[in-house]
Structure 1
């Protein structure tokens, strides 16, 4: 028997089988794009959700801060807010003034801008003087909420008769606070004089502004 010829034929078959298996494996790899069998495709990125922000103005975007100038022609009293010393009915200022039924309301120069209603939009706090037919001149505070860049009356407080406001400041912290400096007097003193410079802190709790603390210093005209 010629065994050497037999082994040579078997060796040739083995080489051919190995070559064929290598070619088939290469074709599979090429068709799969080189990915590992069983591997999961990468998960698509989840779009980020928009975070809550300031109230939006018409057309989109955050509302701009109110300005003191806007208050000169702003609504002052409506069905949601009654001024403590004001007449009945709706009231809108015109160039800082309103007059009707023998009552005159005038916007005063002190004004503060900042968030006092609990949202990121900057509101406004201003002072008014209400004059009636007698000698009384009643001063008060008004908070205007920022609704899309429009001042809307939201809260108010009365400071009393002949108690002019000197300044209003709305600090960043604590939230929903306004610091007001105004002139007043002791409980037993006549309304015609002012003897105290009061620095009071008010908190806005719609529809009122509540005094939470104050400090007094002697005042001489």
Structure 2
């Protein structure tokens, strides 16, 4: 009899722990089905994807420059002084500038690509500076892409009577321009060209710095 009473008491005690016989301990709570799954501070998006950035975002890359734009571009300003050119602001009109007995002409060799490291495609082209004497000085110029506008950023002198044959901007970093032009040895007369030089340049501040070059004999 006593054994039967003890077993009955134990059975009743087990049922009273959660009132349902589910086996959960005292104070256990059922899942909160009313809680929102949204993140803190966010609105209820109803399971929709987050809004995507507008295609017209200000982060849209600048349009690439074109070689044709250079024909009416600025060439010299307070931030860049072109080798062998007179002081003051200079801008091309249809690829030409003239003043103080000096003529500066844009040359046809040109290439487009990132030279300044901001991923916006820039432009590199040579110019020829003709003085009142016999000098025909060539220079290499990089125009920086400023929101689709060419702005002169760096330059390098190539010397007197050293016509450029080609310009090629690399498509992989580091950003460099390979320039092929005609020149001469130190002992050769200035009126002749005897060397085809292939030189590699990069932009270093307002200067186009030559990294290295190789020469091959040239016969006109």
Change (3 A) 1:58 1:45: closer
Q: Is the 8 A contact 1:103 1:133 kept in 2?
A: yes
C-alpha distance after superposition, 1:174-201 (max 9, x if no partner): 4231100000000111110001000000
**CA drift at 1:134:** 0.8
Using the size of structure 1 for normalisation, the TM-score is 0.75
Change (3 A) 1:183 1:45: farther
Extract unaligned runs of 5+ from structure 1: 1-21, 25-30, 48-56
Write the distance in 1 (CA, Å) between the matches of 2:213 and 2:132.
31
Q: Find the counterpart in structure 2 of residue 12 from structure 1.
A: none
1:65-144 matched pairs, under 5 angstroms:
65-144=64-143
**CA drift at 1:60:** 5.5
Secondary structure (helix, strand or coil) at the match of 1:110 reads coil
Where in structure 1 do 4 or more consecutive aligned residues deviate above 3 Å? 31-35, 40-43, 57-60
C-alpha distance after superposition, 1:82-141 (max 9, x if no partner): 001110000011110000111100000001111111111111111000001111100010
Count of aligned positions? 198
Q: Find the counterpart in structure 1 of residue 163 from structure 2.
A: 164
Write the distance in 2 (CA, Å) between the matches of 1:173 and 1:58.
26
1:138-157 matched pairs, under 5 angstroms:
138-157=137-156
Match of 2:39 among 41, 44, 51: 44
Write the distance in 2 (CA, Å) between the matches of 1:174 and 1:200.
17
Q: Find the counterpart in structure 1 of residue 199 from structure 2.
A: 200
1:177-188 matched pairs, under 5 angstroms:
177-188=176-187
- RMSD over aligned Cα atoms: 3.2
Change (3 A) 1:97 1:122: same
Richer in helix (by share): 1
Q: Is the 8 A contact 1:115 1:175 kept in 2?
A: no
Q: Is the 8 A contact 1:171 1:178 kept in 2?
A: yes
Write the distance in 2 (CA, Å) between the matches of 1:97 and 1:46.
61
Using the size of structure 2 for normalisation, the TM-score is 0.76
Change (3 A) 1:187 1:148: same
